[in-house]
Structure 1
Amino acid sequence: MRDFATSDHPGVQTQLNRLAALSLPQGRYGLDTIEAICARLGHPERHLPPVFHVAGTNGKGSTCAFLRAMLEAQGYTVHSATKPHLVRYNERIRIAGRLIDDDALAALLAEVLDASEDLGPSFFEVTTAALFLAFSRHPADACVIEVGLGGRLDATNVIPAPLVCGVASLGLDHEAFLLRPEAGTPDEPIARIAFEKASIAKPGVPLVTQTYPGGANAAVIATAACHGAPLLMRGRDWGFEPGADGFVLHDADEMVTLPLPTLPGSHQIDNAALAVMMLRHQTALSVSAAAMAQGIRAARWPARLQRLGDGPLTALVPGRQVWLDGGHNPDAGLAIARHFAGGLPIHLIIGMLANKDPAALIAPLDPLLASLSVVPAPGHEAHRPEDFAPHTAQAVRPCADVAAALAALPDDGRDILIAGSLYLAGEVLRRNREFPD
């Protein structure tokens, strides 16, 4: 049940119980089921406000946060759909800037499940149909919709004509799904990932991307051409130069100077720049440079290098900076390492699902560590302390939970990072009473 959250609202909990009972039949891939669900519901995906559609391995959630913040700074009303939720399922559906309320959520999920249970839908297909219904029924100027997994076969990819599509950074993750053998797809793993993500492209719809390693760039170029999507690739069609106080972004039309993001991490400049370029290369909604600047400063995205505030967990280490990040793949590990590089060694508390690579975070972070504590990933099979030992020079300390790990740290004033899983991040936010709003 941890995947689907729990709710204090009886009506929501009833529907969450129904969601938890769903399973994805093994070997079923494709969009047929979500298309059938949408047909039964009157095709809400065809009646959405203008859509900004964002895929990527890392950074897509932050890119969505920047898009929403910049659009709202311009005065637009924005629906947004991001994933996964951290504490409450409601976080997945934001209507006109506010999380969907419990009564509306219960009714919405019941409507979708009643219409589709005989089709054997997955959790993600029901969730996607629910957000389509919600967004089609409430007026707004724009929708910001994050892809869940991959792109080509993600349920959100039934949106027929987004305003603009974007692809954030790429890396290896969810290999069992995204790299499964299929004729006609690229052989190189990173190129296959690029093909899957870039396949959200639609005819005539601008596709804005970062630049990528290996054969990924070629895969993106080929995929955009196949779909008839105008491609704007960083390093080829646009770019930026960061400075001490901001960054200068440029494309074929002009240059614009923007402030550094408030969100921590140098990688957030990449995500902010991608969001700006998506705004600049659509013509339906005008956003001024001033609103872009305001949105870049205002954007928030929980559990991505989030500095925790006062709460029951941080009270265990008073006066210390405690950081939280849900990243769990190599690119996330490198981004986190860049943030802490050059400072004093940090204490790492890690909990990681057993199907993830324990070296993904440990390898880039190990030179920066003062200690390493391993905790379970709540409700899931997790790596054991001995799984991390081959990848670190640190002694590995097993702990029952995050609270015990914090309490066991030496009183040396060093920063603390809690990382390795979004499930763990959600539990930390819940226990520290910092609920995403």
Structure 2
Amino acid sequence: MKDFAISEDPAVQAQLDRLGALSLPQGRLGLDTVRELCARLGNPQDRLPPVFHVAGTNGKGSTCTYLRYMLEAQGLRVHTATKPHLVRYNERIRLAGQLIDDATLAALLKQALDAAQPDLTPSFFEVTTAALFLAFASVPADACVIETGLGGRLDATNILPTAAVTGLATLGLDHEAFLLSPDTTIPDAAVHDPLVRIAFEKASIAKAGVPLVTLRYPARAAQMVAETATAHGAPVLARGTAWDAAIGQDIAYRDAMGTLTLPLPALAGLHQAENAALAVAMLRHQTVVTIYEAAMAAGIRAARWPARLQRLGHGPLTAQVPGRTVWLDGGHNPDAGLAIARHLAAQPPVHVIIGMLANKDPGAILAPLGGHALSISVVPAPGHDAHRPEDFAAHSALPVRSFADVAQALAALPPGGDVLIVGSLYLAGDVLRRNGEVPD
């Protein structure tokens, strides 16, 4: 699936138009094309500051955010690559703490796209990755925080030759059409067990001699993570063995080096404290940079990550429902649904406004919410094929209403009750733009 990107800058838009015309040739998987593209660009991936590389089904973007904020709280210059963007393509590339500017972005995309001509047929994601490697190699920094896209083994970022540390966030089912596609090269244990296959794909970012820091997983998935890391020559540092964290009024972190007492994040949800603990464990188990406890605490407090149980501020959309809390989350898979439901269980019931891509499970969010939903309103996922109201009806006892957009759905809500807008990061980006909360 191609991503969607627009820009108000004509030079950037010219390159985004070229980028948007790309597609992944049917049946082509592997890293050969991105390797060749980067070779034509002088292999910028070999000249990066120390890399913190993170994969996972959910939580990898948040983990990268905590890493960035903690490294910056230590006074370090940090490049960050996260995905997808919510409003502006520039969000994907942050250079030394600042979103890439339009002029630099246009030049780098042009350089990467031109290098592919006339014979390479790279995808949107491969060109994006080559451009961010070029950016990171050209601007001095102390560290790079890089999030994978789909999977890990075949993700374009996985041509990185090494890293300071790698990390694995939660494991669950998502992007099944890509990550569970038939492949004769995968281990036998991963052939018929989707979670084990996901574990194999994600853990394949492991690099020789580089610690792979992980969360707890079901035994069969944990075994595949360990086997995959061993095949790559990487030590596994798993939660519950190499490190652990008790989440209560604070984060009580411990490992062989000692204990830390760290604050809970400002980001909502128990899962965010878990993601912060993973980021702390990654920092504690690498030896390239030194991060003190005070910087970890400051970074956890300061971290912001849009559209992840974000409480929207005042704007044109929230003004339609004065006095109500409006939550925004881009979650769209079962693990995200459970995390959202756990957080909202302690909150008043909510009116749910949902827009979800047609290739996602329509029950992923509604089923965990159960009776905590006051009403269900369905809206499109801008620019993409989305589920129809009848697709959600089987997953809720409530009537399901359809609206042309979020503004109409908000206007039609009955009095009382907070609001959850959920189901797609594309929808979340549209909401942020309409409410005047463009990420910076």
Q: Which TM-score bucket, shorter chain as reference?
A: over 0.9
In structure 2, the partner of 1:57 is 57
Distance in structure 1 (CA, Å) of the matches to 2:5 and 2:116: 21
In structure 2, the partner of 1:407 is 411
In structure 1, the partner of 2:385 is 381
Alignment partner of 1:192 is 2:197:
yes
AA in 1 matched with 2:263: P
Alignment partner of 1:208 is 2:213:
yes
Distance in structure 2 (CA, Å) of the matches to 1:108 and 1:342: 46
Write the deviation string for residues 168-204 of structure 1: whole angstroms up to 9, x where unpaired. Answer: 0010001111111222331211011001000000000
Give the secondary-structure state (helix, strand or coil) at the position aligned to 1:4: coil
AA in 2 matched with 1:428: V
Give the secondary-structure state (helix, strand or coil) at the position aligned to 2:145: strand
Distance in structure 2 (CA, Å) of the matches to 1:6 and 1:179: 31
Q: Which of 296, 318, 322 is 1:318 aligned to?
A: 322
Question: Where in structure 2 are the equivalents of 1:213-224 lying within 5 Å?
Answer: 213-224=218-229
In structure 1, the partner of 2:286 is 282
AA in 2 matched with 1:237: A
Distance in structure 2 (CA, Å) of the matches to 1:113 and 1:15: 8
Tell me how far 1:410 sits from its aligned partner. Answer: 1.4
In structure 2, the partner of 1:86 is 86
Structure 1 residue ranges without an equivalent (≥5):
none
Tell me how far 1:343 sits from its aligned partner. Answer: 3.0
CA contact (8 A) 1:248 1:255 kept: yes
Tell me how far 1:214 sits from its aligned partner. Answer: 4.8
AA in 2 matched with 1:283: T
CA contact (8 A) 1:7 1:13 kept: yes
Give the secondary-structure state (helix, strand or coil) at the position aligned to 1:324: strand
CA contact (8 A) 2:5 2:20 kept: no
Question: Where in structure 2 are the equivalents of 1:36-435 lying within 5 Å?
Answer: 36-117=36-117, 118-183=119-184, 184-185=186-187, 186-187=190-191, 188-244=193-249, 246-412=250-416, 414-435=417-438
Tell me how far 1:2 sits from its aligned partner. Answer: 8.7
In structure 1, the partner of 2:14 is 14
AA in 1 matched with 2:240: G
AA in 2 matched with 1:349: I
Distance in structure 1 (CA, Å) of the matches to 2:100 and 2:67: 19
Write the deviation string for residues 98-156 of structure 1: whole angstroms up to 9, x where unpaired. Answer: 00000111111001000013300000000000000000000000000000110000000
Distance in structure 1 (CA, Å) of the matches to 2:233 and 2:291: 26
Distance in structure 2 (CA, Å) of the matches to 1:198 and 1:2: 25
CA contact (8 A) 1:4 1:19 kept: no
Give the secondary-structure state (helix, strand or coil) at the position aligned to 1:27: coil
AA in 1 matched with 2:415: D
Distance in structure 1 (CA, Å) of the matches to 2:50 and 2:259: 26
Tell me how far 1:254 sits from its aligned partner. Answer: 1.0
Distance in structure 1 (CA, Å) of the matches to 2:58 and 2:41: 32
Distance in structure 1 (CA, Å) of the matches to 2:348 and 2:399: 18
Distance in structure 1 (CA, Å) of the matches to 2:57 and 2:206: 16
Tell me how far 1:4 sits from its aligned partner. Answer: 2.7
CA contact (8 A) 1:191 1:214 kept: no
Give the secondary-structure state (helix, strand or coil) at the position aligned to 2:3: helix
Tell me how far 1:252 sits from its aligned partner. Answer: 2.0
Tell me how far 1:379 sits from its aligned partner. Answer: 1.1
Q: TM-score, normalised by structure 2?
A: 0.98
Write the deviation string for residues 11-46 of structure 1: whole angstroms up to 9, x where unpaired. Answer: 000000000111110110000001001110000000
Distance in structure 2 (CA, Å) of the matches to 1:329 and 1:273: 22
AA in 2 matched with 1:18: R
Distance in structure 1 (CA, Å) of the matches to 2:58 and 2:2: 23
AA in 1 matched with 2:174: D
Distance in structure 2 (CA, Å) of the matches to 1:430 and 1:213: 39
Distance in structure 2 (CA, Å) of the matches to 1:29 and 1:389: 36
Give the secondary-structure state (helix, strand or coil) at the position aligned to 2:394: helix
CA contact (8 A) 2:24 2:123 kept: yes
AA in 2 matched with 1:64: C
Structure 2 residue ranges without an equivalent (≥5):
none
Write the deviation string for residues 49-72 of structure 1: whole angstroms up to 9, x where unpaired. Answer: 000000000000000000000000
Q: TM-score, normalised by structure 1?
A: 0.98
Once structures 1 and 2 are overlaid, which stretch shifts more, 56-65 or 358-367? 358-367
Distance in structure 1 (CA, Å) of the matches to 2:313 and 2:84: 22
Tell me how far 1:397 sits from its aligned partner. Answer: 1.1
CA RMSD of aligned residues (A): 1.1
CA contact (8 A) 2:337 2:368 kept: yes
Q: Could you list the runs of 4 or more consecutive aligned residues of structure 1 that deviate by over 4 angstroms after TM superposition?
A: none
Tell me how far 1:3 sits from its aligned partner. Answer: 2.8
Distance in structure 2 (CA, Å) of the matches to 1:65 and 1:87: 17
CA contact (8 A) 1:195 1:220 kept: yes
Q: Number of aligned residue pairs: give it.
A: 435
Distance in structure 1 (CA, Å) of the matches to 2:247 and 2:423: 29
AA in 2 matched with 1:81: A
Distance in structure 2 (CA, Å) of the matches to 1:347 and 1:22: 38
Write the deviation string for residues 72-98 of structure 1: whole angstroms up to 9, x where unpaired. Answer: 000000000000000000000000000
CA contact (8 A) 2:2 2:124 kept: no
Identical columns (%): 70
CA contact (8 A) 2:23 2:124 kept: yes
Distance in structure 2 (CA, Å) of the matches to 1:114 and 1:300: 35
AA in 2 matched with 1:149: L
CA contact (8 A) 2:58 2:336 kept: yes
Distance in structure 2 (CA, Å) of the matches to 1:33 and 1:363: 40
AA in 1 matched with 2:132: L
